[in-house]
Amino acid sequence: MPHLLILISIVTNANILRILAYESDNREDWNTLPSWLPRTSIEFVDRFSCRGGDFALHINNNDAFIQWVLSARHTTWTFGWEVPAANSSDNNTMYYARVFDLLNWSRLQNLLPRQIRVDSICHKGMEVVFGYSRDKKAVTAPPKPNKYIADDTWSILWATCHKQLNTRSRISASCIDIPAVLVANPDPPWKVNNPCHYVYRMIDGAHRLCLRKYLLGLYEGEMLDFQSQLTALSTNPDSSAADRIRSHMANLQKNVELISFGSFFVLNQTTFEAMLTNSDPHKSWAKDEHILMKALTTSLIDDWSKWMHLAMAHVTSNDNGADIYHPEHSDL
């Protein structure tokens, strides 16, 4: 079976079993998988999928909105991620993009999310497998949640997503169905805006994207688990048990096809560069909660909520309302 993560087809070194160190005040034990990460796909979907919920809450909950939208920023000077601001040729200046500006522009343009393949997106952390990391510290990846997940899949997932997956506060508040923000690469791979030379640069939503990749890894392990069960039944391949396993595998494959795409607001490079500023939001507008709250006018909250409802309805319509299949617990 081909590996589910596209990085496997690009980075085939099976010895990438060491990952960059990341200090997290939420990390419990570096020798175990973080307790907040589900061990099965069933548990994952129950915890991190919010389709059908009240998405207006994402702005009405002021604390979450301030922390993850109003205060959020994207930096452009990390090695491999350099982008000059519009009308500037200086790659060394520290430029920032405020996530609120990007999303608010999308709202004002009535932008709706697009379905994009996960394997066409480059997010912060992936630079390590493309030779752009200057950090040589390493720790061993934790044990796999499913022994059938391929070593390549697990080691590369952890090498590129360990910072996101190790941050409990961000993970616990994540829903993989909420659209994230991308900037389209003007002319991949020749004119690049990301170190992967991929079609899209991720601006906001890396935690959700890494969770989606983690779910794909869980599906890979569960598919291989079912395959091993089917192999054990090779002496009686026409039994009802074998038929049930084949049905589970077919449905899990549909899940893989569904989860391999996510919903994203897509901006062009020119728009993105025009929004860059050399003023750190954490030291200017995001340092004072009163300043932040002034942005949350009643009209903005109402319009933002309507826009997000439309966006989430569009997410559902893009996949024709397909539901994620849940195998029985006893079959895993």
Tens digits of residue pLDDT in 55-97: 544 555 556 666 667 778 898 888 888 887 666 655 556 888 9
CA distance 85 to 80: 16
Phi and psi dihedrals of 110, rounded to 5?
55, 40
**Lowest mean pLDDT segment, chosen from 105-109, 137-141, 174-178, 324-328:** 324-328
Q: Beta strands 96-98 and 200-204: pairing type?
A: unpaired
pLDDT confidence bin for 288, thresholds 50/70/90: low
Two structure tokens written together for 314: 């569009």
User: For the chain, what is the radius of gyration of the CA atoms?
Assistant: 21
pTM: 0.84
| Residue 213 clears pLDDT 60, i.e. is over it | yes
| Residue 168 clears pLDDT 60, i.e. is over it | yes
Domain edges within the chain: 36-234+249-321
Two structure tokens written together for 31: 């020798």
| Residue 332 clears pLDDT 80, i.e. is over it | no
- The CB-side HSE value for 98 (13 A sphere, CA atoms) comes to 21
Work out the angle at residue 170's Cα, subtended by the Cα atoms of residues 166 and 173, and round it to the nearest 5 degrees: 130
> So what's the pLDDT on residue 88?
61
| Residue 133 clears pLDDT 60, i.e. is over it | yes
Mean pLDDT of the chain: 79
Instruction: Identify the three-state secondary structure at position 73.
Output: strand
Contact 271, 108 (CB under 8 A): no
CA distance 111 to 308: 10
Average pLDDT over residues 221-227: 93
> So what's the pLDDT on residue 214?
96
> So what's the pLDDT on residue 56?
46
- Of residues 122, 159, 125, the one with CA closest to residue 15: 159
pLDDT confidence bin for 263, thresholds 50/70/90: very high
Q: Beta strands 121-122 and 139-140: pairing type?
A: unpaired
